[in-house]
Structures are given as C-alpha cells and as structure tokens.
Amino acid sequence: MARVGVFVCFCGANIADFVDVNQVVEEVKRIKEVKFATNYKYMCSDPGQQQIRDAIIQYRLTSVVVAACSPRMHEKTFRKALFDAGMNPYLLEIANIREHSSWVHQKDKKAATEKAIDLVRMAVAKSIANEQLHEISVPVTKRALVIGGGIAGIQAALDIADARIPVVLVEKSPSIGGKMAQLDETFPTLDCSQCILTPKMVDVASHPYIELIPYAEVLELEGFVGNYKAKIKKKASYVNFKTCTGCGACWQKCPVKVPNEYNMGIDKRKAIYTPFPQAVPNKPVIDAEHCNMLTKGKCGICAKVCEKGSIDYKMQDEIIEREIGAVVVATGYSLWDPKPYEEYGVGRFKDIITSLEFERMVSANGPTGGVPIRPSDGQVPKNVVFIKCIGSRDEAKGIEYCSKICCMYTTKHTILLHHKVPGSHSYVFYMDIRAAGKGYEEFVKKAQVDTAATYLRGRVSKIYKKGDKLIVRGEDAQIGQVVEVVADLVVLATAVIPNKDNPDLARLLGVSYDKYGYMSEAHPKLRPVETAKAGIFLAGCTQAPKDIPDTVAQASACAAKVCGLFSGDTMKKDPMISSVNNEFCSGCQNCVKVCPYGAIVTEEIPMSRGSKEMRTVAKINEGVCQGCGSCVAVCRSMAISLAGFSDPQIINEIVSI
Amino acid sequence: MITLGLQEKNTLLAEVNKRSGANVLECYQCGKCVSTCPVSQYMDFPPREIMQLIKLGQKETVYMANSTWFCLTCSACSGRCPRQIEIPAVMEAIRHIAIEENYVNNTKKVKSIRKFHNIFLDMIKLYGRSYELRLMAEHNIRTRDLFKDMNLAPVALLKGKIPLLVKPVKSIKAIRRMFKLADKLEKKHQ
C-alpha cells in the first residue's frame, strides 16, 4: 500500500496570495494513499526540508509530493532532502502550483485553488507508480574545445589549461585576439588594449595544455556530454608553420594589395599577410581569393623570397578530429551595417564612419598613426559628431535591444579625440547614457566635464552636406529645440549583432538560439553560461552583447563549469532515459528518425532464444539519451518506456482527475 | 533652431564659469533644481535649461532670459543639486554680464524686478538696512501700481513685520564707503 506525503509551499506570498494553501491540504488529505499533508511558508528552506525528512521517517512514506515552484527550480533540492532521509530521490514528484497556477491565475483565487488541487492530485497519483531509479555513470574525456580566440576564448582556454586540463582552441582567422586586438584603449580606465591582451595571446601559444588551431573551423560535433567528437577543418594557409620564422620577406615583396580587414579597410594589406604585427601565431597565411599564384597561376614571388621554403601552393584543407568532453563557445560578435540610415547619407558622404573605423584611426598602431582624419580630404577633424544607438533600439531600422557597449566606447572616443586632436570638440547625440558598471558613471562625467563633450539628447533626423562640412540635425530634448551641428566628421556607434553564422553553429552544436541569432543560456539568471545541452557553455558576445569585463568574467565562469564537469573520472547522469522492451519492438525504426540526439541505434538479436534467425530492434545509448520522450510518443508498439514517465504513471495521472 | 560648431570656443561658458566659480559642465540635466525652485514655473527657461543653453553657448537666449531676474537667490536649488553646482552664483553671473553687455529684457515683469533691485540698493545706501515700508511705497510709485499688495500692509504692520520708522544703522558711514569703493572698482573694471 502506497504511503504518500504531500508538502504544499506558500512560496512567501507567490503562491499563498492566490491559492488557498490550507484548502489544498484539506482536499489532498482525503485521498486515501495520502498519509500526511502539510503546508509551510518556504518549503525549500532548511526548516521546510526538515519537515519532509521527519515525515518520511515518522509516517514511513513511500513517495513524496512537493507542491511548489517549477521542478527546474528546486527538483534537485527536494530530491536531496529525500536522499538525506534515506529514500530513493526519484520517488519525489513536484506539482508546479506556482508557474502553472498562482502566477497565471492571479485574478481568480477560487479557480487557482481548484487547479492547484488538481495538480497535486495528479502528482500524488503519479507518485504512487514511481519506481526507484539510480543515477547512471558515464566516462569523461577530459579535454575541452574552445571555439573562438577572442578575449572570451583566450580567457576560458587559459583558465581551463591552468587547471591542467588539455584545451583545443579553434580560431577562424589567422590570429587569435579577436575584436579586442582592434581596440586602442579600453573604458573606463583607458588601459591600452594591446598591452593587456597580447601577453595573454602569447600565454595561449606557449601553454603546454593548449593546442592552438588557428585558421580553422568546427565542422561537426557528435556525441554527448563528456564524450564529444569534434571534426575541425584546418583551412589551407599555404605556409608551413613549422618551418616559417615569420621574417616578413614574403609579405614585403607580395605585389597584391587587398583592403585590410584589421584596419576596417582603411589601408591595404598584401595577399600573403599576418593580420597585425602582434599576431599569434605570428606566421603569415595566403589569402587564396586574391593571390595571383592561386587564382591565375602566375607570380610565386613569395616562394622565391622565402629562405626556408615554407610556401606550399599545393596545400589542401585538412580535416582533423579531436575527442573532447566539453565545449566553450566564444565566437564573439559582428557590427551592424548602417546602410539603412539613408537619411544620414550613409554611403553617400565619405566623412561618416563607424566607431570601429574611428577606433582604428585613433589607435597607436592604426593606419593613420593615431590621428583621426576625414576620409574625404585627409584633414584632421575639429568638430566630431558621435551618434549613438545606430541600429540599436531602433525597431524600424534594426534591432530592439540595447547593444550595451556603445555608450561607454563613445564616451571613450570623446576623450581620445580630446587627447589626440587639440582644440577639437565632441558632440554626442544620445537617447540615454547607460553607464552601469564599476567606474563607468565617473568615466562619463570625465568626458562631460573634463573634456567638455557636448551631450545632446535626441536622435539625429538627418545629415546633409554644406560645402565640405556635414550638417547634423537633431533635437536637443533638454531644451526642446532643434539643433544643427556643423561637423567635420560623423561617427556612428553601430549596433552589436550576432555573427551571421551563429545560428548555423548553434544548430551544429545542438544548442538553441534566440530570434536575433544569439545563443541561448539555460537560465537567464541562475545558469547564465550553460546551454540547455549538457557540456556546452557560452562565453562573451555569442550569448548577448557585453563589454570586456563581463566577457572575461563569463569566460572564467565557463572554465569553472568545465573544471567541475571534469572533476571526476566518470560523470553522473539523470536516470530518466528511455529503454526498449525487445519483446515488443517491431524494428520499424521510427524512433531512430525522431531522436534529436542521435541516441538510438539498431541491433540484431535472435528471433527467439537459441534461434539463428535474426531480427532488428532499437537500442538506446544511455550516455546520449536526454530523456525527451519523442521516441516513446512515436513508438507504435509501445515498446519504449521513459523512466520516471512510464505508462502506469501517466495513466494514473490522467485517471486521477 | 540652434546651430552649433561655428564658434571656435564657448566664450559664454568660460565667462560664466569664471565669474560664478561654478562649473556648468558638471550639470547632468537631472532637473532637481527646476522642481525645487519656487519660481521656476514663471521662468521662460528654468535653471536646468539655462545650464544646457550655457553649455551650447547660446548667449542671446541666456542673457535675455527672464529666469535670471526671477531667481530669488534662495539657494534651494544649489542646496539640493546632486552635483553641488552653485546655481544662484551662475544666475548672478549672467545678470552681471547681461547688464554689462547691454542685453536688456524689457518685459514688464523684468523691468519691475530691476526697479525693485535698484530701490532695494538705495535703501541700503540710505539706511544700511531694508526699510520695507518706503521700499514698498517707492516700488508701487515707480511701477505705477499704487495699490499693489496694499491689502497685506495692515496685517504686516499690526504683527510688527514691517516697522513704521527706521533709523540708519550705526555703521552707515562704512556702508556708504563700501558703495563708493564698489563704484570705483566698477569704473576701473570697465
């Protein structure tokens, strides 16, 4: 005879204000299997858990129902309470009377209470059929894959490697460093970006536990947490990195000039190039699209001047495989193209540039030697207008969200302009100044007071040309008047957007992504670096726009998660997975088709004991199965059962109401 | 409409900051001064807007604004300003520059306020203190509004708020010397 205990939680006022918790207890007590029922203000607190532990022993309970919040929130907490009282933790059922009742029926307490009673009644019925389950152990490959070599990937790789866990760091471009390598100084301290980044880049290259694979992409990821297999494409660099010394003779002599991506196309690079002088690895690659030898078969100068004979025009892309246990995705972001701002004359007026172009110009190693210039005539600008929220928070043009970093880097740009061009003046058109961060508000004050940048609250309506000046027209909402600024240069703070291939990569990895294309975290507050797929973590702007401090913090958090995952030789896994009853399996393989994790394979078994004739049945890979239940639904012979959600359990639930 | 970026330097800002000892750039436009000010509702540009106009170098608008004349110098604004800007000092500086540079706001109200200021100074010169009854009378005569606030006079008199007769203070000579010195300094300054 089942003996069920029911514990109803107030959740402070979250449940108790909208559901009559006393009535729930009274109703539930009438069920004959329920031997004990009570309610308490915070069931998840220690006194609450103690009530559960005491009742289990006192009333010799065979299963426990907690009516509280979502199982995503506290299922683990209560399972542990059961375990501590000597009970199998999977004999717990949770009736979610918060998200499913009190929060959604706040206007009707009576109906909410009725619904809560039904939910508890179902959970009680289900729990009667609960069986004891035991966690599964799966082996772990203690090697992490970090995708992306920007500051997020670098930090994650270093932190994981410092714990003596091997890391494979895959970077798409020829050098690690990412967007941070393009920055001049960083807010709010004006630290030189290169000075704080390049030592870390060198650490990555020389770390004994890091395998750096530059100029490569992840093609495939199969397997499951602790046991992934990654297929990585090493793009042909046409340079043998083992023999190349990075002397630079090749790129000095190369006759082909191509717009330099590192400097936002302001100057030119060669077809054989390193992205920037501090690149890691500091070895050149050949840009196959533009190289004369590779496109027309004529030239070969670089091969002639290379003393080491490192140039190999016949080099092919190479596919390599690595076995890994966890993945950190740190692929970063892109910047929005402001072309839709036709009223600003983007594309028509040369003296409208983006913030990253301005950043490259004021950068000490930039194409203009650290001084901003007007692209139209090369003059040094005096009056510079900065316009924030280009694309960001503009639903008509671009994006609903705030890009988070533009307020601060624009503030930095006004200060940099003040430093680099004496007598210059900054005008900043803004909607809000979002300076939430340590030292950020003080930094904005520095720009407004010390460098006398003029802040004008309003979006610019249009920009037109008058002589060689640009007239920027907008409202200053602070005085309610239209303002026109006669500008030499206009800088647009373009929105942060996810990389174009983010959704493809997310699908490849099996993680979800939002409507913009940012990869989704498992929980916005409590699991900010995990994805819904076990063993895959997110760092940096792959997840959402964020600044360097937040990115680094998130990268270190990912490293901590990876280290935690690899802390034992095996990993514990939830036992709530599918199993096949071979007696009933007809071998139709519908389940194989619907399984989103590729966890079902087929096997041949004898028709009957001792028989030589074979038949095909489905087989579940316990390590891979995530317990989604798709196979159960599709199985026409009801041969598959999901532990914790067995047919008797579900039928009990349905019959109970 | 305001056009910016034509001036080499914001001379208005520099002059106001120099004379007031405040730094108008500190203002971050929160508007606490406006909601604190007892007379902001009568101003054409309340203090927050005056601060922004100074930042934008809008001389004419700032000098011609009635706000500086309406300001009571009560210092409620600066007392509550989160950036601790001496707003009354800024208003005072603008009044001075406006007079010096012949920006005269000739609206009825501002004229009357200017007259009040002058009569008040005359009272100080004569008595070394304020002689409210005479001040009221003179102001009402000069502004040709004889019965203005007359209904308040009996109550104020009965409660002893305004004395009937006032004698010059003991140190009246010193005060008059101060006025002479101020005149001299002003001439020298010009």
B1 in a domain, yes or no?
A: no
The span from the CA of A42 to the CA of A14, in Å, is 10
| B96 and B142 together in one domain | no
ipTM of the complex: 0.86
Are B3 and A481 within 8 A, CB to CB? no
| A360 and A476 together in one domain | yes
Instruction: Find chain A residues with C-beta within 8 A of B5's C-beta.
Output: 383, 425, 427, 485-487
What pLDDT, on a 0 to 100 scale, did the predictor assign at position B152?
86
Q: Last residue of a domain, which of B74, B100, B126?
A: B100
Q: Please, are residues A571 and A556 in contact by the beta-carbon 8 Å criterion?
A: no
Separation in Å, CA of B62 to nearest CA in chain A: 12
> What sign does the CA torsion over A34, A40, A44, A49 have?
negative
> Please, is B33 exposed, middle or buried when counting C-beta atoms within 10 Å of its C-beta (0-12, 13-18, 19+)?
buried
Stretch A160-174: mean pLDDT: 97
Separation in Å, CA of B31 to nearest CA in chain A: 10
| A181 and A197 together in one domain | yes
Q: Rounded to 5 degrees, what are φ and ψ at B76?
A: -60, -40
Comparing A82-91, B68-77, B126-135, the range with the smallest average pLDDT is B126-135
The span from the CA of A310 to the CA of A289, in Å, is 20
Instruction: Find chain B residues with C-beta within 8 A of A449's C-beta.
Output: 23, 25-26
| A486 and A387 together in one domain | yes
What pLDDT, on a 0 to 100 scale, did the predictor assign at position A625?
87
Quick check: B76 pLDDT over 80? yes
Q: Extract the tokens encoding A338.
A: 């402001």
- CATH code, A342: 3.50.50.60
Across the interface, of B1, B3, B25, the residue whose CB is closest to A452 is B25
| A441 and A452 together in one domain | yes
The span from the CA of B113 to the CA of B121, in Å, is 12
| B93 and B115 together in one domain | no
pLDDT tens digits along A538-560: 999 999 999 999 999 999 999 99
Which residues lie below 8 Å from residue B104, measured CB to CB, with a gap of 6+? Answer: B98
Q: Please, are residues A557 and A317 in contact by the beta-carbon 8 Å criterion?
A: no
Helix (H, G, I), strand (E, B) or coil at A329: strand
Residue type, B124: I
Nearest-CA residue of chain B relative to A446?
A: B26
| B89 and B145 together in one domain | no
Helix (H, G, I), strand (E, B) or coil at A387: strand
pLDDT band at A621 (very low <50, low <70, confident <90, very high): confident
Instruction: Find chain A residues with C-beta within 8 A of B49's C-beta.
Output: 478-479
Percentage with pLDDT > 90 across chain A? 92
Q: Which of A478, A486, A488, A490 to mutate to test the interface with B (most CBs of B within 10 A)?
A: A478
Quick check: B189 pLDDT over 80? no
Q: Last residue of a domain, which of A70, A98, A128?
A: A128
Are A478 and B5 within 8 A, CB to CB? no
Separation in Å, CA of B53 to nearest CA in chain A: 8
What is the span of the domain harbouring residue A618?
Answer: 578-656
| A367 and A478 together in one domain | yes
| B89 and B147 together in one domain | no
B142 in a domain, yes or no?
A: yes
| B86 and B125 together in one domain | no
pLDDT band at B190 (very low <50, low <70, confident <90, very high): low
Q: Extract the tokens encoding A200.
A: 């870390």
> How many beta-carbon contacts under 8 Å exist across A and B?
53
Nearest-CA residue of chain B relative to A433?
A: B28
Across the interface, of B3, B5, B23, the residue whose CB is closest to A449 is B23
Across the interface, of A425, A457, A478, the residue whose CB is closest to B49 is A478
pLDDT tens digits along A48-67: 999 999 999 999 999 999 99
B3 in a domain, yes or no?
A: no
Long-range pairs of B46-51 with CB within 8 A, sequence gap ≥ 24: B47/B71, B47/B77, B47/B87, B47/B91, B48/A478, B49/A478, B49/A479, B50/B90, B50/B91, B50/B94, B51/B24, B51/B27, B51/B85, B51/B87, B51/B90
A117 in a domain, yes or no?
A: yes
Are A383 and B29 within 8 A, CB to CB? no
pLDDT tens digits along A442-455: 999 999 999 999 99
End-to-end Cα spacing for chain B: 34
| B96 and B123 together in one domain | no
pLDDT tens digits along B143-153: 888 888 888 88
Across the interface, of B8, B25, B49, the residue whose CB is closest to A448 is B25
B181 in a domain, yes or no?
A: yes
pLDDT tens digits along A453-491: 999 999 999 999 999 999 999 999 999 999 999 999 999
| A490 and A509 together in one domain | no
What pLDDT, on a 0 to 100 scale, did the predictor assign at position A497?
97
What is the overall mean pLDDT for chain A? 95
pLDDT higher at A274 or B187 = A274
Number of domains in chain B: 2
What is the span of the domain harbouring residue B115?
Answer: 108-189
What pLDDT, on a 0 to 100 scale, did the predictor assign at position A596?
82
What pLDDT, on a 0 to 100 scale, did the predictor assign at position A574?
85
Quick check: A289 pLDDT over 80? yes
What pLDDT, on a 0 to 100 scale, did the predictor assign at position A136?
87
Are B1 and A484 within 8 A, CB to CB? yes
Separation in Å, CA of B47 to nearest CA in chain A: 11
Q: Which of A411, A444, A481, A488 to mutate to test the interface with B (most CBs of B within 10 A)?
A: A481
What pLDDT, on a 0 to 100 scale, did the predictor assign at position B104?
92
Across the interface, of B1, B26, B52, the residue whose CB is closest to A449 is B26
Across the interface, of B4, B6, B49, the residue whose CB is closest to A483 is B4
Are B3 and A484 within 8 A, CB to CB? yes
Stretch A410-429: mean pLDDT: 96
| A281 and A203 together in one domain | no
> What sign does the CA torsion over B176, B179, B181, B187 have?
negative
Nearest-CA residue of chain B relative to A482?
A: B1
| B43 and B78 together in one domain | yes
Interstrand relation of A227-234 and A216-224 (parallel, antiparallel or unpaired): antiparallel
Stretch A185-214: mean pLDDT: 96
The span from the CA of A417 to the CA of A411, in Å, is 10
Are A479 and B56 within 8 A, CB to CB? yes
Quick check: A398 pLDDT over 80? no
| A386 and A400 together in one domain | yes
Separation in Å, CA of A549 to nearest CA in chain B: 26
Q: Extract the tokens encoding B124.
A: 């100080």
| A592 and A483 together in one domain | no
Quick count: other Cβ atoms within 10 Å of Cβ B181?
A: 10
| A338 and A467 together in one domain | yes
Residue type, A524: P
The span from the CA of A524 to the CA of B109, in Å, is 59
Quick check: A319 pLDDT over 80? yes
What does the angle CA A520 – CA A524 – CA A525 come to, to the nearest 5 degrees? 150
> What sign does the CA torsion over A623, A626, A629, A630 have?
negative
The span from the CA of A96 to the CA of A350, in Å, is 59
Q: Last residue of a domain, which of B69, B100, B131?
A: B100
Alpha carbon distances (Å) from A567 to A7, A326, A563:
35, 12, 6
Are B2 and A425 within 8 A, CB to CB? no
Q: Rounded to 5 degrees, what are φ and ψ at A386?
A: -105, 130
| B112 and B91 together in one domain | no
A311 in a domain, yes or no?
A: no
Number of domains in chain A: 5
Tell me, rounded to whole angstroms, the distance of Cα A243 from its chain centroid.
37
Separation in Å, CA of A480 to nearest CA in chain B: 9
Separation in Å, CA of B74 to nearest CA in chain A: 24
Stretch A493-501: mean pLDDT: 97
Are A425 and B5 within 8 A, CB to CB? yes
| A218 and A256 together in one domain | no
What is the overall mean pLDDT for chain B? 92
What pLDDT, on a 0 to 100 scale, did the predictor assign at position A140?
93
B6 in a domain, yes or no?
A: no
Are A478 and B29 within 8 A, CB to CB? yes
